[in-house]
Amino acid sequence: MLIYFDKARELDWIVNETLELCRDLKHGLEDCYALLAPIDPGSTLVMSTPRNEKVKGTLTRVGTRIVKGTLSLSHNDAIHIQGLDALHNHLNQSIDLLAITLSKPQDARSLSSTLSILADSINDSSALLKGPPLTESDPAWQMCSSPPYHFTPPLGPNLSFYLGLQESCIILWLRALEPVHAHVHFGTKLGLAFGTVRRLEHDEMDTVFRYNTQGSDTGSSKRGSARHTPEPGSSAAGMDSNDIQEVYVREKVRVESADPSLISIQSKLSYLSHMLGQARRNIAEVLNVDS
């Protein structure tokens, strides 16, 4: 009987310690959330290609949205970065879950289940900031490039403007496109045959892509709670098959800009993940003893 009470006291103690850790975890996630808050004037990021001036200018990020830049962006239809919107949702849901957990008594097993959900959410958040490997392009550009109406004058169908995330940096990909069945001037054909005209070489030059010329309608938003920033609309819902065309990528430019807030979020999430992992191991060990 004494051994049973000792185990029960140990279980109560570890639950109380874990709940205290959850308070610290909630504060840490709220810090990350604050770094994504839509606070003016936002962060102005230099977007210039290294060693040349193929692309030169700035973007201004407010929260999860790009609100202005060197290309004239519409303030009413701001460009969303899908990875940031998904990150925003993960942080919001994790904070809400922790608020519910801390608002009422918890037993060890339900707390363990909650910590498992939080761990998955934090891992997903870190993966969003990390993005695809630096040696790979984000394939989402084919369907989710920025719609032409964001720009003044509107972009033509042969230029893809796509923003994404890699290694906690905001990445801009510009692609000059050519329809697969476009007419090629006879002189160009001769030049290609004799080698006097050469294609710009890059990793996508010989690949046929299916490209949505209207982009994703990420400017529209859904109504959310008071703490939510607008969420992007579904890009697939309004897609017309006539907007899809097969293209070659004739030229591709990649520009990256390190975002201090995103770097800070990545660092905080790494620490919180480590702290959460330790708490999960502690409570799992006690539950194994108890069982």
Model-wide pTM > 0.85: no
Range among 2-6, 97-101, 247-251 with highest mean pLDDT value: 97-101
Nearest to 172 by CA among 81, 244, 91, 84: 81
pLDDT of residue 85: 92
CA distance 171 to 141: 12
pLDDT of residue 2 exceeding 60: no
The owner of tokens 């790009």 is: 66
Phi/psi zone of residue 102: left (φ > 0), alpha (ψ -120 to 50 degrees), beta? Answer: alpha
- The percent of residues above 90 in pLDDT, for the chain, comes to 37
Fill in the DSSP letter of residue 51.
T
Among the listed residues 238, 231, 197, 198, the one whose alpha carbon sits nearest the alpha carbon of residue 215: 238
Q: What is the DSSP string of 146-192?
A: PPGGGBSSPPPTTEEEEEEEETTEEEEEEEEEEETT----HHHHHHH
Given pLDDT bands bounded at 50, 70 and 90, which one contains residue 229? very low
Give the pLDDT band (50/70/90) at residue 71: very low
Q: What is the pLDDT, as a whole number, of residue 119?
A: 96
User: What's the mean pLDDT in 97-119?
Assistant: 93
- Asked if residue 284 has pLDDT above 60, the reply is yes
In the predicted structure, residue 55 carries a pLDDT above the cut 50: yes
Is the confidence at residue 64, as pLDDT, over 60? yes
Question: Dihedral sign, CA of 233, 79, 272, 28?
Answer: negative
The arithmetic mean of pLDDT across residues 100-121, rounded, is 93
Q: Is the pLDDT of residue 230 over 50?
A: no
Work out the angle at residue 52's Cα, subtended by the Cα atoms of residues 49 and 56, and round it to the nearest 5 degrees: 50
Tens of pLDDT along 123-165? 999 999 999 888 777 888 999 898 888 887 788 888 999 999 9
Q: Which whole number is the average pLDDT over 44-53?
A: 75
The answer for residues whose C-beta is within 8 angstroms of residue 251's C-beta and 6 or more apart is 175, 176, 200, 202
Token pair in block for residue 41: 């004037």
**What CA–CA distances, in Å, run from 212 to 145, 154, 155, 209, 266?**
8, 15, 13, 10, 32
Q: Return the percentage of the chain with pLDDT > 70, whole number.
A: 77
pLDDT, the chain, mean: 80
Mean pLDDT of 115-129: 96
Tens digit of pLDDT for each residue in 182-227?
665 545 555 555 555 555 566 687 789 999 988 876 534 333 333 4
Q: 89 Cβ partners below 8 Å, 6+ apart?
A: 231
Instruction: Name 133's Cβ contacts closer than 8 Å, sequence gap at least 6.
Output: none
